[in-house]
Amino acid sequence: MAEGCAPHGVLRLRGREFGPGRPAVMAVLNRTPDSFYDAGATFGFDAALRAADAAVAHGADIIDVGGVKAGRGAPVSTAEEIDRTAPLLARLRERHPATVLSADTWRAEVARVCTEAGADLVNDTWSGADPDLAAVAAEAGAGLVCSHTGGLGPRTDPHRVRYRDVVADVVARVTALARRAVALGVPPDRVLIDPTHDFGKNTYHSLEVTRRLGELVRTGWPVLVAASNKDFIGETLDAPVGDRRAGTLAVLAVAAWQGAAVFRVHDVAAARAALDAVAALTATGGQDSGV
Protein backbone atom coordinates (compact mmCIF):
# COMPACT_ATOMS: atom_id res chain seq x y z
CA MET A 1 0.00 0.00 0.00
CA ALA A 2 1.22 3.49 -0.80
CA GLU A 3 2.66 5.40 2.12
CA GLY A 4 0.08 7.70 3.69
CA CYS A 5 -2.84 6.56 1.56
CA ALA A 6 -6.34 5.75 2.69
CA PRO A 7 -6.63 2.13 3.83
CA HIS A 8 -7.83 -0.24 1.10
CA GLY A 9 -8.45 2.57 -1.36
CA VAL A 10 -11.20 4.24 0.66
CA LEU A 11 -12.17 7.80 -0.26
CA ARG A 12 -13.78 10.06 2.35
CA LEU A 13 -15.52 13.25 1.32
CA ARG A 14 -18.30 15.21 3.00
CA GLY A 15 -18.79 12.56 5.69
CA ARG A 16 -19.25 9.78 3.13
CA GLU A 17 -17.04 6.81 2.25
CA PHE A 18 -16.50 5.31 -1.20
CA GLY A 19 -14.34 2.47 -2.38
CA PRO A 20 -14.38 -1.09 -3.73
CA GLY A 21 -17.85 -2.48 -3.06
CA ARG A 22 -19.15 1.05 -2.41
CA PRO A 23 -18.55 2.75 -5.76
CA ALA A 24 -19.33 6.41 -6.29
CA VAL A 25 -20.98 7.74 -9.42
CA MET A 26 -19.62 11.13 -10.49
CA ALA A 27 -21.97 12.95 -12.84
CA VAL A 28 -20.43 15.05 -15.61
CA LEU A 29 -21.81 18.59 -15.72
CA ASN A 30 -20.19 20.72 -18.40
CA ARG A 31 -20.94 24.45 -18.43
CA THR A 32 -19.35 24.70 -21.85
CA PRO A 33 -20.90 25.48 -25.23
CA ASP A 34 -18.68 22.98 -27.04
CA SER A 35 -18.59 19.74 -25.03
CA PHE A 36 -17.65 16.74 -27.18
CA TYR A 37 -20.61 14.74 -25.87
CA ASP A 38 -23.59 17.05 -25.39
CA ALA A 39 -22.52 20.04 -27.52
CA GLY A 40 -23.54 22.58 -24.91
CA ALA A 41 -26.77 21.05 -23.58
CA THR A 42 -25.91 22.13 -20.00
CA PHE A 43 -24.16 25.40 -20.82
CA GLY A 44 -27.10 27.49 -19.66
CA PHE A 45 -27.33 28.02 -15.90
CA ASP A 46 -30.89 26.75 -15.55
CA ALA A 47 -30.19 23.78 -17.81
CA ALA A 48 -27.18 22.90 -15.64
CA LEU A 49 -29.31 23.08 -12.48
CA ARG A 50 -31.93 20.78 -14.00
CA ALA A 51 -29.25 18.32 -15.09
CA ALA A 52 -27.73 18.30 -11.61
CA ASP A 53 -31.12 17.70 -9.99
CA ALA A 54 -31.75 14.80 -12.37
CA ALA A 55 -28.31 13.32 -11.71
CA VAL A 56 -28.88 13.33 -7.95
CA ALA A 57 -32.32 11.79 -8.41
CA HIS A 58 -30.77 9.00 -10.50
CA GLY A 59 -28.12 8.16 -7.92
CA ALA A 60 -25.15 10.46 -8.43
CA ASP A 61 -22.89 10.74 -5.39
CA ILE A 62 -20.65 13.44 -6.86
CA ILE A 63 -21.33 16.21 -9.37
CA ASP A 64 -18.29 17.33 -11.35
CA VAL A 65 -18.66 20.87 -12.72
CA GLY A 66 -16.38 21.96 -15.54
CA GLY A 67 -16.13 25.23 -17.40
CA VAL A 68 -13.57 24.46 -20.11
CA LYS A 69 -13.72 21.83 -22.84
CA ALA A 70 -10.94 19.29 -22.31
CA GLY A 71 -9.84 19.21 -25.94
CA ARG A 72 -8.92 21.92 -28.38
CA GLY A 73 -11.36 24.77 -28.78
CA ALA A 74 -11.95 28.44 -28.15
CA PRO A 75 -9.75 29.94 -25.42
CA VAL A 76 -11.40 30.38 -22.03
CA SER A 77 -9.92 32.90 -19.63
CA THR A 78 -9.56 32.26 -15.92
CA ALA A 79 -12.26 34.86 -15.22
CA GLU A 80 -14.67 33.21 -17.67
CA GLU A 81 -14.02 29.76 -16.22
CA ILE A 82 -14.77 31.07 -12.73
CA ASP A 83 -17.96 32.71 -13.96
CA ARG A 84 -19.12 29.44 -15.52
CA THR A 85 -18.40 27.24 -12.49
CA ALA A 86 -18.33 29.01 -9.11
CA PRO A 87 -21.90 30.45 -9.09
CA LEU A 88 -23.29 27.08 -10.14
CA LEU A 89 -21.36 25.27 -7.41
CA ALA A 90 -22.67 27.75 -4.84
CA ARG A 91 -26.24 27.13 -5.94
CA LEU A 92 -25.75 23.36 -5.99
CA ARG A 93 -24.35 23.46 -2.46
CA GLU A 94 -27.62 25.05 -1.33
CA ARG A 95 -29.82 22.63 -3.29
CA HIS A 96 -27.92 19.42 -2.54
CA PRO A 97 -26.14 19.74 0.82
CA ALA A 98 -25.32 16.03 1.11
CA THR A 99 -23.91 15.65 -2.41
CA VAL A 100 -20.17 15.82 -2.98
CA LEU A 101 -19.31 18.64 -5.38
CA SER A 102 -16.25 18.65 -7.61
CA ALA A 103 -14.58 21.40 -9.62
CA ASP A 104 -13.03 20.15 -12.87
CA THR A 105 -10.12 22.57 -13.37
CA TRP A 106 -6.35 22.64 -13.69
CA ARG A 107 -6.05 26.28 -12.59
CA ALA A 108 -5.23 27.07 -8.97
CA GLU A 109 -7.07 30.39 -9.05
CA VAL A 110 -10.25 28.72 -10.31
CA ALA A 111 -9.93 25.96 -7.72
CA ARG A 112 -9.62 28.52 -4.93
CA VAL A 113 -12.84 30.30 -5.87
CA CYS A 114 -14.68 27.03 -6.49
CA THR A 115 -13.77 25.54 -3.12
CA GLU A 116 -14.91 28.77 -1.47
CA ALA A 117 -18.20 28.31 -3.34
CA GLY A 118 -18.66 24.81 -1.95
CA ALA A 119 -16.58 22.31 -3.95
CA ASP A 120 -15.32 19.37 -1.88
CA LEU A 121 -13.00 18.02 -4.56
CA VAL A 122 -10.67 19.46 -7.21
CA ASN A 123 -10.58 17.28 -10.32
CA ASP A 124 -7.25 18.11 -11.97
CA THR A 125 -7.34 16.22 -15.27
CA TRP A 126 -4.10 17.85 -16.46
CA SER A 127 -1.62 16.17 -14.13
CA GLY A 128 -0.45 19.07 -12.00
CA ALA A 129 0.06 21.54 -14.87
CA ASP A 130 -0.44 24.33 -12.31
CA PRO A 131 1.96 23.49 -9.47
CA ASP A 132 -0.04 25.61 -7.01
CA LEU A 133 -3.23 23.60 -7.41
CA ALA A 134 -2.47 20.96 -4.77
CA ALA A 135 -1.64 23.63 -2.20
CA VAL A 136 -4.98 25.31 -2.88
CA ALA A 137 -6.80 22.01 -2.29
CA ALA A 138 -4.86 21.52 0.93
CA GLU A 139 -5.67 25.01 2.20
CA ALA A 140 -9.36 24.47 1.48
CA GLY A 141 -9.46 21.02 3.07
CA ALA A 142 -10.64 19.67 -0.27
CA GLY A 143 -9.81 16.45 -2.03
CA LEU A 144 -7.68 16.21 -5.17
CA VAL A 145 -7.64 14.04 -8.27
CA CYS A 146 -4.11 13.21 -9.45
CA SER A 147 -4.02 12.34 -13.13
CA HIS A 148 -1.72 11.23 -15.96
CA THR A 149 -1.31 12.93 -19.33
CA GLY A 150 2.07 11.66 -20.47
CA GLY A 151 3.54 15.12 -20.12
CA LEU A 152 0.99 16.90 -22.30
CA GLY A 153 -0.19 20.35 -21.27
CA PRO A 154 -3.81 21.44 -20.90
CA ARG A 155 -6.09 21.07 -23.94
CA THR A 156 -3.54 19.32 -26.15
CA ASP A 157 -4.10 16.06 -28.01
CA PRO A 158 -1.70 13.10 -28.13
CA HIS A 159 0.31 12.63 -31.32
CA ARG A 160 2.36 9.48 -31.86
CA VAL A 161 2.80 9.12 -28.11
CA ARG A 162 4.86 6.13 -26.99
CA TYR A 163 5.54 4.40 -23.69
CA ARG A 164 7.82 1.54 -22.78
CA ASP A 165 5.02 0.44 -20.41
CA VAL A 166 2.03 2.77 -20.25
CA VAL A 167 0.68 1.37 -16.98
CA ALA A 168 4.04 1.68 -15.25
CA ASP A 169 4.25 5.28 -16.46
CA VAL A 170 0.75 6.00 -15.16
CA VAL A 171 1.44 4.43 -11.77
CA ALA A 172 4.69 6.34 -11.34
CA ARG A 173 3.18 9.71 -12.21
CA VAL A 174 -0.09 9.56 -10.30
CA THR A 175 1.42 8.12 -7.13
CA ALA A 176 4.13 10.79 -7.16
CA LEU A 177 1.45 13.47 -7.46
CA ALA A 178 -0.56 11.83 -4.67
CA ARG A 179 2.43 11.78 -2.32
CA ARG A 180 3.15 15.42 -3.14
CA ALA A 181 -0.44 16.38 -2.40
CA VAL A 182 -0.29 14.69 1.00
CA ALA A 183 3.04 16.38 1.75
CA LEU A 184 1.38 19.73 1.00
CA GLY A 185 -1.46 18.96 3.41
CA VAL A 186 -4.24 17.24 1.45
CA PRO A 187 -5.66 14.52 3.73
CA PRO A 188 -4.60 11.10 2.38
CA ASP A 189 -8.16 9.80 2.33
CA ARG A 190 -9.21 12.69 0.06
CA VAL A 191 -6.73 11.89 -2.71
CA LEU A 192 -7.77 10.02 -5.86
CA ILE A 193 -5.65 8.75 -8.72
CA ASP A 194 -6.90 8.75 -12.32
CA PRO A 195 -5.21 6.96 -15.25
CA THR A 196 -7.01 9.53 -17.43
CA HIS A 197 -8.10 7.47 -20.43
CA ASP A 198 -7.33 9.12 -23.80
CA PHE A 199 -5.33 11.98 -22.26
CA GLY A 200 -1.82 11.54 -23.60
CA LYS A 201 -2.78 8.07 -24.80
CA ASN A 202 -3.92 6.35 -27.96
CA THR A 203 -6.61 3.67 -28.04
CA TYR A 204 -4.15 0.86 -27.39
CA HIS A 205 -2.84 2.64 -24.29
CA SER A 206 -6.33 3.28 -22.91
CA LEU A 207 -7.32 -0.35 -23.45
CA GLU A 208 -4.14 -1.54 -21.74
CA VAL A 209 -4.83 0.73 -18.77
CA THR A 210 -8.35 -0.70 -18.55
CA ARG A 211 -7.14 -4.31 -18.64
CA ARG A 212 -4.52 -3.66 -15.97
CA LEU A 213 -6.44 -1.23 -13.79
CA GLY A 214 -5.89 -3.57 -10.86
CA GLU A 215 -2.26 -2.43 -10.77
CA LEU A 216 -3.44 1.08 -9.92
CA VAL A 217 -5.90 -0.25 -7.36
CA ARG A 218 -3.09 -2.17 -5.66
CA THR A 219 -1.19 1.04 -4.96
CA GLY A 220 -3.78 1.64 -2.24
CA TRP A 221 -4.96 5.00 -3.54
CA PRO A 222 -8.66 5.20 -4.54
CA VAL A 223 -8.96 5.05 -8.32
CA LEU A 224 -11.17 7.27 -10.48
CA VAL A 225 -12.22 6.01 -13.91
CA ALA A 226 -13.35 8.67 -16.40
CA ALA A 227 -13.97 6.66 -19.56
CA SER A 228 -17.55 7.63 -20.40
CA ASN A 229 -18.15 7.77 -24.17
CA LYS A 230 -14.46 8.42 -24.85
CA ASP A 231 -12.69 8.03 -28.17
CA PHE A 232 -10.94 4.75 -27.30
CA ILE A 233 -14.37 3.15 -26.88
CA GLY A 234 -15.57 4.61 -30.14
CA GLU A 235 -12.50 3.50 -32.07
CA THR A 236 -12.58 0.01 -30.58
CA LEU A 237 -16.25 -0.51 -31.42
CA ASP A 238 -16.39 1.72 -34.51
CA ALA A 239 -19.11 3.68 -32.73
CA PRO A 240 -19.90 7.41 -32.97
CA VAL A 241 -20.18 9.49 -29.80
CA GLY A 242 -23.92 8.93 -29.51
CA ASP A 243 -23.62 5.15 -29.71
CA ARG A 244 -21.03 4.33 -27.04
CA ARG A 245 -23.34 3.54 -24.11
CA ALA A 246 -22.83 -0.24 -24.20
CA GLY A 247 -19.07 0.13 -24.54
CA THR A 248 -18.97 2.60 -21.69
CA LEU A 249 -20.90 0.27 -19.38
CA ALA A 250 -18.57 -2.60 -20.28
CA VAL A 251 -15.53 -0.53 -19.32
CA LEU A 252 -17.19 0.55 -16.07
CA ALA A 253 -17.93 -3.06 -15.17
CA VAL A 254 -14.37 -4.20 -15.91
CA ALA A 255 -12.97 -1.34 -13.84
CA ALA A 256 -15.40 -1.90 -10.96
CA TRP A 257 -14.58 -5.60 -10.88
CA GLN A 258 -10.91 -4.68 -10.46
CA GLY A 259 -11.69 -2.34 -7.55
CA ALA A 260 -12.01 1.22 -8.87
CA ALA A 261 -13.76 3.57 -6.47
CA VAL A 262 -15.25 6.45 -8.49
CA PHE A 263 -16.75 6.53 -11.99
CA ARG A 264 -17.20 9.76 -13.94
CA VAL A 265 -20.14 9.32 -16.31
CA HIS A 266 -22.70 11.04 -18.51
CA ASP A 267 -25.53 8.50 -18.05
CA VAL A 268 -25.93 8.34 -14.27
CA ALA A 269 -28.89 5.96 -14.10
CA ALA A 270 -27.28 3.32 -16.34
CA ALA A 271 -23.95 3.60 -14.56
CA ARG A 272 -25.58 3.34 -11.12
CA ALA A 273 -27.39 0.15 -12.13
CA ALA A 274 -24.28 -1.42 -13.66
CA LEU A 275 -22.05 -0.59 -10.71
CA ASP A 276 -24.60 -1.78 -8.17
CA ALA A 277 -24.79 -5.07 -10.07
CA VAL A 278 -21.01 -5.49 -10.00
CA ALA A 279 -20.94 -4.62 -6.30
CA ALA A 280 -23.56 -7.29 -5.61
CA LEU A 281 -21.69 -9.89 -7.64
CA THR A 282 -18.37 -9.20 -5.95
CA ALA A 283 -20.00 -9.20 -2.50
CA THR A 284 -21.47 -12.68 -2.99
CA GLY A 285 -18.72 -14.17 -5.10
CA GLY A 286 -16.99 -15.88 -2.20
CA GLN A 287 -20.07 -17.31 -0.50
CA ASP A 288 -21.34 -20.87 -0.72
CA SER A 289 -24.40 -20.86 -2.97
CA GLY A 290 -25.68 -24.10 -1.51
CA VAL A 291 -25.96 -25.72 -4.92
The DSSP secondary structure of 56-84, one letter per residue, reads HHTT-SEEEEE-S-SSS-S---HHHHHHH
Q: Is residue 185 part of a domain?
A: yes
What tens digit of pLDDT does each residue of 73-104 get? Answer: 899 999 999 999 999 999 999 999 999 999 99
Domain range for residue 21? 7-284
pLDDT above 70 for 2? no
Q: Is residue 189 part of a domain?
A: yes
Q: Which residues partner with 16 through β-bridges?
A: 13
Structural domains counted in the chain: 1
Q: Is residue 212 part of a domain?
A: yes
Average pLDDT, the chain: 94
pLDDT above 50 for 286? no
Is the CB of residue 11 less than 8 Å from the CB of residue 261? yes
Q: Is residue 92 part of a domain?
A: yes
CATH number for the domain including 234? 3.20.20.20
Is the CB of residue 108 less than 8 Å from the CB of residue 62? no
Q: What is the mean pLDDT of residues 132-143?
A: 98
Q: What is the mean pLDDT of residues 150-155?
A: 94
Q: Is residue 291 part of a domain?
A: no
Q: Is residue 289 part of a domain?
A: no
pLDDT above 70 for 288? no
Among residues 112, 179, 190, 264, the one annotated as catalytic is 264
State the pLDDT at residue 8. 73
pLDDT above 90 for 285? no
Q: Is residue 2 part of a domain?
A: no
| Furthest-apart CA atoms within the chain: distance in Å | 63
Phi, psi values for residue 243, rounded to 5°: -130, 40
Any catalytic annotation for residue 264? yes
Rounded Cα distance between 289 and 7, Å, is: 30
Any catalytic annotation for residue 230? yes
What tens digit of pLDDT does each residue of 219-248 get? Answer: 999 999 999 999 999 999 999 999 999 999
Q: Is residue 1 part of a domain?
A: no
Among residues 112, 230, 244, 272, the one annotated as catalytic is 230
